[in-house]
Amino acid sequence: MFSKQLLKWYEQYGRYDLPWQKNPTAYRVWISEIMLQQTQVTTVIPYYERFMKRFPTIKKLATATEDDVLLHWSGLGYYARARNIYKTAKIITEQYHGHFPETVDTISELPGIGKSTAGAIISFAYQKKAVILDGNVKRVLARYFAIESPINQKDTIEKMWACAEKLTPRQNAHHYNQAIMDLGATLCTRTKPRCAECPFIKTCQAHQQQKPTFYPIKTVKKSRPLKKIRMLIIYKNKNEILLLKRPASGIWGGLWSFPEKSEGGSGSNPSEEIFQIAQIPLQLKLINTLPTITHQFTHFTLEISPIIFRVKNQMLLKKLNTNEFFWYKLSTKLPGGVAAPVKNILDAL
């Protein structure tokens, strides 16, 4: 009954014109599903179209450089997604001759692909029965059944998978999966759900209780700690500034950024200071400061104080490793991906 009602609603109100719904190959579905993790559809669409224009096939993606992939991901955040996409593209090209596997278990073994994403690929690309349980689906089910336990607990997730398995029909599973995601994205939203327009208004338990936004229940998160850093914007001349490539692991892994220094120690606004960069003592003269930027991560808040310097001992600059450092000429093409705060600083210079 649930699936029939949902499919009837989808036939009239579902979304049929999303870019990844046109020619839904496994590659195109995969890229869209990864981009849609933690990100709204309206935000994803321009990034997806730009990404697919640059990397129209999995072979093009696998033979690109990681810098190029990160460059085309810049602004979407959660950059581990892009690094895993690059790894997976290489694995599929080298081990599967460029063809996506066709089972959930095999796809789930690839970097960055979980059970729900694998199910979406099987369902939308191959039109086979497969179950999905993304954020939208969890919210719909949590409200429909008024699930009282936190949905981020392991036992609750297992129960929701079993529930989703029972509800997903064998026939037209790809339409059902798209329908339940559309319902969560358009009507059963996180805030201000449009219950009056929902096909389940008479059977949804959360609506019967008159508290739909009470669900889904989540465990209370601890307050995020605050970390403070200074980003050093180092000019060599009027329009060339120093960028460095961050380590592959950690926040903004593999992206280009400014040299950093933790707050404290020698003061937040030094007028003249010697910084060790790549074991090279660069003597810097303070030129200006920019307004503080606050950036939210999942587990902490980062407070960035951008400080503009000019190098005094320029002879030492030749010693910088060009594989890790890059003198970027403002308003030209970046050497690779940059995080949103870095892009904002560059735009302000």
Which is it for strands 293-296 and 301-311: parallel, antiparallel or unpaired? antiparallel
Query: Over the Cα atoms of the chain, what is R_g?
Result: 24
Point out the catalytic residue in the list 11, 33, 102, 272. Answer: 33
CA–chain centroid gap for 123, Å, is: 22
Distance (Å, whole) CA 152 – CA 131 = 18
Residue 61 burial (CB count, 10 A): 24
What's the angle, vertex CA 218, arms to CA 216 and CA 222, rounded to 5? Answer: 150
- 33 is annotated as an active-site residue: yes
Residue type, 189: T
Q: What would the DSSP string read from start to end of 137-183?
A: HHHHHHHHTT--S-TTSHHHHHHHHHHHHHHS-STTHHHHHHHHHHH
Residue 35 burial (CB count, 10 A): 23
Element (H, E) at 60: helix 58-62
Nearest to 24 by CA among 170, 165, 128, 135: 128
Peptide bond into 216 cis (omega under 30): yes
Could you give the residue numbers annotated as active site?
A: 33
